[in-house]
Amino acid sequence: MYAAKSVSGGIGLGLIGFYLGLGFIALLRWTLGYPEPWGGEINIIGGYIFGLIGWLMGVGMWGIWGREWFGQRTYPRKAPGWQRYFTFNTDHKVIGVQYTVTFIIVFLLAGALAMMMRLELANSGMQFLSHAQYNGTMSLHGTLMIAVAVAAVIGGIGNYAIPLLIGAEDMAFPRLNALTFWLVPPVAVALLSTPFLGGMETGWTAYPPLSVTTNSAQIMFDLGIITFGLTSILGGLNFLVTIMFMRAPGLSWGRLPIFVWAIFATSWIALLYTQGFAVALLLIALDRVAGMAFFNSTAGGDPLLYQHVFWFYSHPAVYIMVLPGFGMALEIIAHFSRKPLFAYRYAVGAFLGILGLSGVVWAHHMFTAGIPNYLHGPFLVATELISVPTGLVFLSALGTIWMGKLWLKTPMLFALAVIFNFGCGGVTGIFLADVPTDIHLQDTYFVVAHFHYTIVGGEIFGLFAGIYYYFPKITGRMYNETLGKLQFWWMFIAFNVTFFTMHLPGVQGMNRRIADYQSGLDTVNLIVSLSGLFLGASFILFVYNMINSWIRGPLAGDNPWQVRTLEWQVSSPPPLENFPTPPVVQGHPYDYGVPGSVHGVFPGQKLGGVPVVGGGGGQ
Amino acid sequence: MAVAASAAHGHATHNPVRFNRLGLWLFFFSESILFGLLLTTRFFLEGIEREHVDQHLGLAITIILLLSSLTAFTAETAIEHNNQRVANWFLMATIVLGIIFAAGVGFEWKTAEFSRHEAFGSVFFTMTGIHAAHVVSGIGILFLVWIQLKRGKFNSKNHWPVSGSVMYWHFVDVVWVFFYPALYLVK
Amino acid sequence: MHIKHLIPAAVLWVIITAVGELLVIANLYPTVGSLEADDFDWIFRFLLAIGVPVFAFVIAAIVYSMYAFRSAKGDEMGSTIRGNGWFPRIWLIVTGGLAAFVMVFPGLTGLQKLQSDRTAYGWGDTEADVVIHATGAQFNWTFTFADGTEVNIIKGKELVLPVHQKVRFNIDSVDVVHSLWIPAFRMKIDAIPGRTTYMTVEPTVKGSYAEDQSFRVQCAELCGLDHSVMNFPIRVVEKPEFDQWLASLKTGAK
């Protein structure tokens, strides 16, 4: 049992490492003459780091990579069948599935926490949670969902699809790719340990000084998120090298599928800005553990420093979340409209424009934080400027469906919903970018509704679009279309009722992150809660459909969607290293209906003496 | 991280060193933001104020670190010309100079006249500490490379681990070129 | 060929916009208790009036396309327009113009008003009639008047403000970041340890928390365990009544 060996090795070495780390720090403290060898959180940090290394080595990184550092021969761990999903596997398709399944599980878990919150908030007064429990639930929901939003599409769908879309046999750094995935389970363990340490009470934003003075759950959050940031940076780096150097011959930048462009722009953001989160949380950890004074105003520190550094990452982070959603939606919309992607160059320009602007808008999260008056104007202008490149995404999407032949399969419905939802999320963004309205709406449920529209509406719908779209390619089997459509309409309607209604309590004076609210807001909250629970139920259908179809679904064939891009020209599921004969690209991926056009050909592959031509587009 | 990556798959058209080099550069971009934010933190909290620091020690360790970049460069040039003996010695010199630098930082920490419980101290210890952590990891990587160099694993055609670790060493050095004036010379 | 589709799509757009614009008319807001609240409601409605057609355009385009351009089997090809011509440029000009418009008005003009010294509210250095020092602490507010009178959860139990007077809050915090928000006044500013932030408001109507829950100081920045109940009632009264109340607190202290 390779899988059991891998997982038990990882857990075993991880635990050994954890206790070694605890002891190591204790020894260090004893040597340095501290009165107590047990210093609390400092020991936990040591344990976590040692445990992390132990886990990675145990799960298979040692044999496949670590030995090389010491000049020894490496040996790959070849696991058959389903077992490969539980080992340090370097195949990008395996890693893509590992990411997707892991984050769907995290998504469902965090969704269950949201259900608890909505039950608590169904009426004013406290129902069944204490204030501490509510804050912990809310913080954990936020943190886990942020993790899902940052990594699910780029890590899951991106890892699976990017090498296939560009005609490469794998990512540029396959072992690094495996490493980015296997760093994720320790993150989950760290975050899920927080309820047992008293529960986080700072939300995912972790503003000091509260995050410095609060309970030890904070340090697990810090460690988990810094690790998670590392996976984000390394993943982004890997995508960039892959996209720059591993495109098939002929696949010029102007022919790149739009989803690849989206991941390209996203990877830059992840690579550059994620360090901001790491620095912010590092400073918090230092304040906590070493008694430093970064955020201690009585000793020369400044709490606003954190907010600047934190939002310097966390605003670009929303584009890490949303750009892959846009890319997925545009990709699917073009294929299912059977039409060239409208204004392709403008869509690419939109992604690059957002990439460029993402780093200069962060202080709009701080309009009411007492920043100097001269900062408001520039950040207001920069923020509203972002609506221009975002508008180009809409141009591309709406122009593509116009006069197309829309094949309204489940992925297409989800892709269209991305555009619909983001329409609402984009418009409400204007209210928050304008300081005179933001001054009231800041930190209210209006903001909560807005970012659920953009992130869930814009990205999670894109994630589902991607999952349904690639399901036949990943599994070789077709999902149940009726159930898929039913889930779409169920989720779409419940989502819109829940979050459109949620704007109202925000305007009327309900601030966010509260366990209790004024009795005047009872009715509207009850509606939101009921609709939210309805939304939660829709995912049961999804899980059933996926599991059932993976086991019993009808065989899908190589190209069930009759799509032109490279990944659909190989078998479902694709073989190891993807393309038995390397593809050569001769045309644009979206030239549906253009006579004689081809996207990819496989020169080495012959059927009856004729080179096989990819793509079903050109009649 | 990207130092030891491989793309040794069936399609033999790719050049792994080219991949590694770009990957390493991207990693430097990312790290620059980390160090840039620490610099920003320093000026955000303290403006151009500075506590008293040991100028002689600061200058000495700076010169040592700059020298170590020179020896690292010589080692890389030597292995490019297949001169394993020179590469071996100069890589070892780099490691030794790096250790002296780290020890210097340690001494600075021990003799510092300010406390970590106030803003300048926090900034100083964090910036030098994060930088020193990079120096120590660089020493570790150079050491692993040095062992393999001694075993004769590298030559003029195949020496990416030497080049990569030396690039990393230069990067850490460049960071100090920014940190040193911000911590020692300002005002 | 486009015209055949453009007209019904445009009609759909107009209908959805008309329905959506009902939101502009609807009263979605809490009590208008201050000058800033007046401006907020006006700007909110103005942005809504501009935003609804934009969202309606997206809805109309999607809904119409899903109906008119649907294809049952996916074996037909769509038209091959690529959008490299004039249309994207027009789009860029229109969206860019809209963004610039909203940026300037009500964005920068509203901001200018908010920060101006002459306006009676906001973040300008306005001469105030009443100056109150507000201190946030987990999980209570303390308000100190210029004459040293303190109001908190034990003493006074409510904050009384005079109507039609400029009230300036100087705000700081003793522990973590809080935020002083008064929904009826639509004003908010964070309380940061080590800094004094401020805001000026001018109440325009009388009211009290007992009758209207939007008359309250609410902490709007997560500050820990009891954040959700960190609020404080406000009562807005005529000036003489306010003076009387302030004096009564003073005598009560002696």
Q: Is the CB of A371 inside 8 Å of chain B's CB atoms? A: no
In the stretch 177-196 of chain C, residues with CB closer than 8 A to chain A read 177, 179, 181, 183-184, 186-190, 192-195
Q: Which of C189, C181, C217, C228 is nearest to A138 (CA)?
A: C228
Task: Determine the pLDDT at residue B14.
Answer: 74
Task: Determine the pLDDT at residue A606.
Answer: 55
What is the spatial distance between Cα B118 and Cα A301, in angstroms, rounded to a whole number?
8
In a domain, B171, yes or no: yes
| Average pLDDT, rounded, for chain A | 91
Residue A607 has pLDDT above 90, yes or no: no
Helix/strand/coil for A604: strand
Residue A501 buriedness (CB in 10 A; 0-12 / 13-18 / 19+): middle
Q: Which domains does chain A have, with CATH numbers?
A: 2-69 (no CATH), 90-552 (1.20.210.10)
C167-173 and C130-137 beta bridge pairing: parallel
A476: alpha, beta or left? (left if phi > 0; alpha if psi -120 to 50): left
Distances in Å between the Cα of A192 and the Cα atoms of A7, A143, A189, A213, B179 are 19, 10, 5, 20, 38
What is the spatial distance between Cα A424 and Cα A447, in angstroms, rounded to a whole number?
13
Q: Is the CB of C70 inside 8 Å of chain A's CB atoms? A: yes
Task: Determine the pLDDT at residue B9.
Answer: 39
Task: Determine the pLDDT at residue B12.
Answer: 45
Q: In chain C, what are the domain boundaries?
A: 2-68+87-115, 130-253
Q: Which of A98, A109, A71, A107 is nearest to A179 (CA)?
A: A98
Residue A610 has pLDDT above 80, yes or no: no
> Looking at residue A589, what DSSP letter applies?
T
In a domain, B179, yes or no: yes
| φ, ψ at C134 (rounded to 5°) | -105, 130
What is the spatial distance between Cα A20 and Cα A22, in angstroms, rounded to a whole number?
5
Comparing A569-573, A587-591, A608-612, the range with the smallest average pLDDT is A608-612
Asked whether the whole model's pTM tops 0.90, one would answer: yes
State the nearest Cα–Cα gap between A273 and chain B, in angstroms.
7
Q: Tell me, what CATH number does B96's domain have? A: 1.20.120.80
Domain hosting residue B25, numbered range = 14-185
Q: Is the CB of A518 inside 8 Å of chain C's CB atoms? A: yes
Task: Determine the pLDDT at residue C156.
Answer: 83
Total domains in chain B come to 1
Nearest residue in chain A measured CA to CA from C227: A514
Calculate what percentage of chain B has a pLDDT beyond 70: 93
In a domain, B164, yes or no: yes
* Block residue for tokens 């940061």: C192
Q: Is the CB of C85 inside 8 Å of chain A's CB atoms? A: no
Task: Determine the pLDDT at residue C251.
Answer: 67
Task: Find all residues with CB under 8 Å of B114, minimum gap 6, and list them.
Answer: B51, B52, B120, B121, B124
Q: pLDDT tens for residues A22-80?
A: 999 999 999 988 888 887 889 999 999 999 999 999 998 988 898 888 888 888 767 77
State the nearest Cα–Cα gap between C2 and chain A, in angstroms.
8
In a domain, B120, yes or no: yes
- The pLDDT of A456-485, averaged and rounded, is 95
CB-CB under 8 Å, A338 with C76? yes
CB-CB under 8 Å, B30 with A233? yes
Q: Cα A237 to chain center, whole Å? A: 16
Residues of A in contact with C222 (CB under 8 A): 135, 201-203, 205, 207, 210, 513
- Three-class HEC string of A21-79: HHHHHHHHHHHCCCCCCCCCHHHHHHHHHHHHHHHHHHHHHHHHHHHHHCCCCCCCCCC
Q: DSSP readout, B97-154? A: HHHHHHHHHHHHHHH-SS-TTSHHHHHHHHHHHHHHHHHHHHHHHHHHHHHHHHTT--
Task: Determine the pLDDT at residue C119.
Answer: 67
CB-CB under 8 Å, A290 with B116? yes
| Tokens (6 digits) for B22 | 């770009």
Residue B22 has pLDDT above 50, yes or no: yes
Residues of A in contact with B126 (CB under 8 A): 282-283, 286, 292, 294
pLDDT in tens, chain C (254 residues): 678 899 999 999 999 999 999 999 999 999 999 988 988 999 999 999 999 999 999 999 999 999 999 988 888 888 888 888 889 999 999 999 999 999 998 889 988 888 887 666 777 777 888 999 999 999 899 999 988 889 998 888 899 999 999 999 999 999 999 999 999 999 999 999 998 999 999 999 999 999 999 999 999 999 999 999 999 999 999 999 999 999 988 865 54
Residues of C in contact with A343 (CB under 8 A): 82-84, 87-88, 91
In a domain, B112, yes or no: yes
State the nearest Cα–Cα gap between A300 and chain B, in angstroms.
5
CATH of C130-253, one of 2.60.40.10, 3.10.450.50, 1.10.357.10, 2.60.40.420: 2.60.40.420
State the nearest Cα–Cα gap between C249 and chain A, in angstroms.
28
Residue A17 buriedness (CB in 10 A; 0-12 / 13-18 / 19+): buried
CB-CB under 8 Å, B31 with A69? no
- E strands, chain C, in order: 130-137, 140-145, 150-151, 159-162, 167-173, 178-182, 187-191, 197-201, 207-208, 216-219, 231-237
Task: Determine the pLDDT at residue C252.
Answer: 56
What is the spatial distance between Cα A315 and Cα A233, in angstroms, rounded to a whole number?
16
Residue A333's Cβ-side half-sphere holds a number of Cα atoms within 13 Å equal to 34
What is the spatial distance between Cα C162 and Cα C132, in angstroms, rounded to a whole number?
12
Task: Find all residues with CB under 8 Å of A240, minimum gap 6, and list them.
Answer: A264, A267, A268, A271, B22, B26
Residues of C in contact with A380 (CB under 8 A): 103, 107-108, 111
Nearest residue in chain B measured CA to CA from A169: B11
Q: Is the CB of B120 inside 8 Å of chain A's CB atoms? A: yes
Residues of A in contact with C85 (CB under 8 A): none
Task: Find all residues with CB under 8 Å of A461, minimum gap 6, and list them.
Answer: A325, A329, A414, A415, A417, A418, A421, A491, A492
Residue type present at position C196: T
Nearest residue in chain A measured CA to CA from B116: A292
What is the spatial distance between Cα A117 and Cα A139, in angstroms, rounded to a whole number?
11
Nearest residue in chain A measured CA to CA from B117: A292
Residue A270 has pLDDT above 70, yes or no: yes
Q: Is the CB of C221 inside 8 Å of chain A's CB atoms? A: yes
- The pLDDT of A74-88, averaged and rounded, is 82
Q: What angle do CA B90, B91, B95 make, to 5 degrees?
A: 115
What is the spatial distance between Cα B97 and Cα B63, in angstroms, rounded to a whole number?
10
Say if CB C168 and CB C132 are below 8 A apart.
yes
- The pLDDT of A98-114, averaged and rounded, is 95
Q: pLDDT tens for residues A536-564?
A: 999 999 999 999 999 999 999 899 999 99
Task: Determine the pLDDT at residue B5.
Answer: 38
Q: Cα C203 to chain center, whole Å? A: 16
CB-CB under 8 Å, C177 with A207? yes
Task: Determine the pLDDT at residue B3.
Answer: 35
Residues of A in contact with B38 (CB under 8 A): 279
CB-CB under 8 Å, A442 with C194? no
Q: Is the CB of A285 inside 8 Å of chain B's CB atoms? A: no
Distances in Å between the Cα of A480 and the Cα atoms of A95, A333, B25, C6 are 25, 20, 46, 35
In a domain, B8, yes or no: no
The answer to whether the bond into A208 is cis (omega within 30° of 0) is no
In the stretch 118-177 of chain C, residues with CB closer than 8 A to chain A read 123, 175-177
Residue A617 has pLDDT above 90, yes or no: no
Task: Determine the pLDDT at residue A410.
Answer: 96
Among partner residues B14, B45, B117, which is closest to A305 by beta-carbon distance?
Answer: B45
Nearest residue in chain B measured CA to CA from A302: B45
Task: Determine the pLDDT at residue B13.
Answer: 61
Q: Is the CB of A330 inside 8 Å of chain C's CB atoms? A: no
| Tokens (6 digits) for A274 | 């994620």
